[in-house]
């Protein structure tokens, strides 16, 4: 599976937008970009996914670079409840296996009140 690179941690203030970057320079044309987050003491939860176009849902927006080698998860107005570890994952055809549901270290997002 193609790998992703994320900053270890980021800090933001409450009620401000947060931009979480992810680099995936070896992405293939069939890989979907997924984001999950894991709140303290909980299992991961799905946030958003996309292929080529930018995507919006009730939780966040996903901005995908034109060459697809990077993407940015955007939280429009962070709250204290958004403090979590955010994972950027590529899901593609891996010739078998778990459809690329493989987690890296993620970005630990800290929200300051």
Partner 1 sequence: EADIYQTPRYLVIGTGKKITLECSQTMGHDKMYWYQQDPGMELHLIHYSYGVNSTEKGDLSSESTVSRIRTEHFPLTLESARPSHTSQYLCASSEFGRATEAFFGQGTRLTVV
Residues that bind partner 1 in the complex, under the rule CB under 8 A: 30-32, 36, 42-46, 49, 51, 91-93, 97-106
75: left (phi over 0), alpha (psi -120 to 50) or beta: beta
Least distance from partner 1 to the Cβ atom of residue 91, Å: 4
Q: Which is nearer to partner 1, 46 or 65 (CB)?
A: 46
Q: Which is nearer to partner 1, 9 or 112 (CB)?
A: 9
Least distance from partner 1 to the Cβ atom of residue 69, Å: 18
**Distance (Å, whole) CA 94 – CA 40:** 30
Q: Which is nearer to partner 1, 34 or 75 (CB)?
A: 34
Q: Which is nearer to partner 1, 76 or 93 (CB)?
A: 93
Question: How many Å from the N-terminal Cα to the C-terminal Cα in the chain?
Answer: 38
Least distance from partner 1 to the Cβ atom of residue 16, Å: 26
Nearest CA-CA partner of 24 in 76, 78, 62, 77: 62
Least distance from partner 1 to the Cβ atom of residue 15, Å: 27
To which residue do tokens 């204290």 refer? Answer: 80
10, 19 Cβ separation under 8 angstroms: no
């Amino acid at each position: 599976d193609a790998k992703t690179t994320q900053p270890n941690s980021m800090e933001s203030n409450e009620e401000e937008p947060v931009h979480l970057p992810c680099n995936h320079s070896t992405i293939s044309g069939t890989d979907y970009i997924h984001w999950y987050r894991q709140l303290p003491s909980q299992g991961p939860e799905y946030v958003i996914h996309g292929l080529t176009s930018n995507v919006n849902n009730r939780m966040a927006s996903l901005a995908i670079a034109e060459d697809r080698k990077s993407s940015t998860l955007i939280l429009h107005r962070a709250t204290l409840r958004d403090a979590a570890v955010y994972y950027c994952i590529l899901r593609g055809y891996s010739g078998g296996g778990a459809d690329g549901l493989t987690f890296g270290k993620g970005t630990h997002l800290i929200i300051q009140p």
